[in-house]
Amino acid sequence: MKGNPIWEVFIRSKNGLEHRHVGSLHAEDAKMAMENARDVYTRRQEGVSIWVVESKNITASNPSENGEMFDPAKDKAYRHPTFYDLPDELEHI
Amino acid sequence: MKNITSKDEAFQARIDAGEKIEPKDWMPEKYRKTHIRQISQHAHSEIVGMLPEGNWITRTPTLRRKVGLLAKVQDEAGHGLYLYSAAETLGISRDELFHQLHTGKAKYSSIFNYPTMTWADIGAIGWLVDGAAIINQVMLTRTSFGPYARAMVRICKEESFHQRQGYEIMLTLCEGTPEQKAMAQDALNRWWWPSLMMFGPRDEESPNTEQSVKWKIKRKTNDELRQQFVDITVPQAKVLGITIPDPDLKWNEERQHYDFGEIDWDEFWQVVKGNGPCNKERLQARNDAWNNGAWVRNAARAHAEKRAAQAEVSEAG
């Protein structure tokens, strides 16, 4: 079937928290995707805010390139606080 | 440690290390196919599972029962949708999935090919059928494929109300008149064995189990899950004061489990092959729903196109 694309659904469970991906659904346009998302993903007050994004608009990293993508951060322990040697009696730092 | 491993070995190593597999990750073709089959069968079961219960929505004894049953059936529609979405992440389209269901190519849980003849059947389904499904689904929350496991977490959270509403129906009948209690007993008599069949063939008759356990698709075998269900359910029947229709059922002190009788496997395979009491009716109902709903899909399309055209006009203006 042409049309009826897939939409990804993100829900903020309560104010103060981020939107989180909860799943996907099919809808003809954004407004209907929003209506469907409400019915499918918030039947028990799971959220206070919904985002719907057509799946084709998401650019995803490729897991087969995870090496060059994420490995460069591996050997940079100096970005973490424990890399720095300080005396034990030192406080509040 | 050897440096060169085949892709299959590397994949198995990830599974063994407890890593989850996500849709864009490399996976063996058989892992993909097995998941498409299993997740879609699960989705179809949710959708077809609405039919036997939908049968009673207009005839519930009270309004309280009606809102509960209606909410349960709505949940099942939702669960079907979560699962279809999870299957689609593996590269099969929703249309293809529906096509497989409507042409009878895809299977769904055989339990839904049994009729709901009395109100007590709705109680028995919630208690036994959802109870059996929960045991399977709790295991699947830890399955190796990420989208399937996440859908299962969501489903399990919602499913426990289904079982409780069913048990409450049974309890009310069992505390009622002798006729009502007899009705509950009759429902248990008819649903007990088909519920045990829900866990599938015995381990030695289930050739896919070994690979599924290795890939952590399943984390327990059919017979282990079935035993778990029997052990949990027998005391629940005692609370109701009704009798499980199995003369061989008894506590085994040594095993610390209940022993139980042999399932009628001829019946099991007959229903799987399409010769159950309602196989044809269920398939027809799904096809009718799809065909009679064509105008709704067309209207949604036309409406979206109209809205898009109006937006273009107002932008141009």
Mean of pLDDT values over B7-24: 95
The predicted-structure confidence for B165-178, as pLDDT tens digits, reads as follows: 999 999 999 999 99
B84 neighbors A4 (Cβ within 8 angstroms): no
Instruction: Tell me how close the Cα of B112 comes to any Cα of chain A, in angstroms.
Output: 23
Contact at CB, A4 and B85, closer than 8 angstroms = no
List, for residues A56-83, the tens digit of each pLDDT value: 999 999 999 999 999 999 999 999 999 9
Total residue count of chain B as it appears in this document: 317
pLDDT of A93 over the 90 cut? no
B3 pLDDT band (50/70/90 cuts)? Answer: low
What pLDDT is recorded for position B77? 97
Q: Which residues of B touch A64 (CB under 8 A)?
A: 26
Taking CB atoms and an 8 Å limit, are A23 and B78 in contact across chains? no
Q: Which residues of A touch B20 (CB under 8 A)?
A: none
**Residues belonging to chain B with any Cβ–Cβ distance to chain A shorter than 8 Å:** 22, 24-26, 71, 74-75, 78, 81-82, 85-86, 88, 94-95, 150-151, 154, 158, 297, 300-301, 303-304, 307-308
Decide if A23 and B25 are in contact by the 8 Å CB cutoff.
no
Contact between chains at B297 and A4 (C-beta distance less than 8 A):
yes
Which residue in chain A is spatially nearest to B25 when comparing CA positions?
A63
Domain spans, chain A: 1-58
Q: From chain A, pick out residues whose CB is under 8 angstroms from the CB of B88.
A: 6, 24
Average pLDDT for B152-165: 94
Residue range B45-51: average pLDDT?
A: 97
Q: Identify the weakest region by mean pLDDT among B29-43, B168-182, B303-317.
A: B303-317
Residue B229's CB: how many other CB atoms inside 10 A?
Answer: 21
pLDDT tens column, B240-273: 999 999 999 999 999 999 999 999 999 999 999 9
Beta strands (DSSP E) in B237-304 are: 250-252, 257-259
Going by DSSP bridges, is the β-strand pair A49-54/A6-12 parallel, antiparallel, or unpaired? antiparallel
- Residues A25, B81: C-beta atoms closer than 8 Å: yes
Mean of the pLDDT values across residues B206-228? 92
Q: Assign A40 a pLDDT band (cuts: 50, 70, 90).
A: very high
CB contact under 8 A, B304 and A22: no
A24 touches chain B (CB under 8 A): yes
Q: What are phi and psi of B252, to 5 degrees?
A: -110, 105
DSSP string across B127-182 = IIIHHHHHHHHHHHTT-SBHHHHHHHHHHHHHHHHHHHHHHHHHHHHHTS-HHHHH
**Rg (Cα) of chain A, in Å, rounded?**
21
CA distance B284 to B280: 6
CB contact under 8 A, B304 and A24: no
| Inter-chain residue contact B82 with A23, CB threshold 8 Å | yes
Q: Containing H/E element for A12? A: strand A6-12
B150 vs A contacts (CB less than 8 Å): 23
For A30, B19, B161, the CA distances from B75, given in Å and listed in that order, are 23, 30, 10
Cα-trace Rg, chain B: 22
pLDDT score, position B2:
52
Determine the pLDDT at residue B38. Answer: 95
- For B304, the closest of A22, A24, A29 (CB atoms) is A29
Residues A1-58: name the CATH superfamily.
Answer: Phenylacetic acid degradation B (3.10.20.520)
Q: What pLDDT digit, counting tens, does each position of B276-294 carry?
A: 999 999 999 999 999 999 9
Mutate to test the interface with A, among B26, B85, B160 (most CBs of A within 10 A): B85
Q: Residue range B41-55: average pLDDT?
A: 96
Q: What is the DSSP string of B26-49?
A: ---HHHHHHHHHHHHHHHHHHHHT
The span from the CA of B288 to the CA of B256, in Å, is: 49
Q: Is the pLDDT of residue B4 over 60?
A: no
Q: Are residues B25 and A43, on separate chains, in Cβ contact within 8 Å? A: no
Q: Is the pLDDT of residue B57 over 80?
A: yes
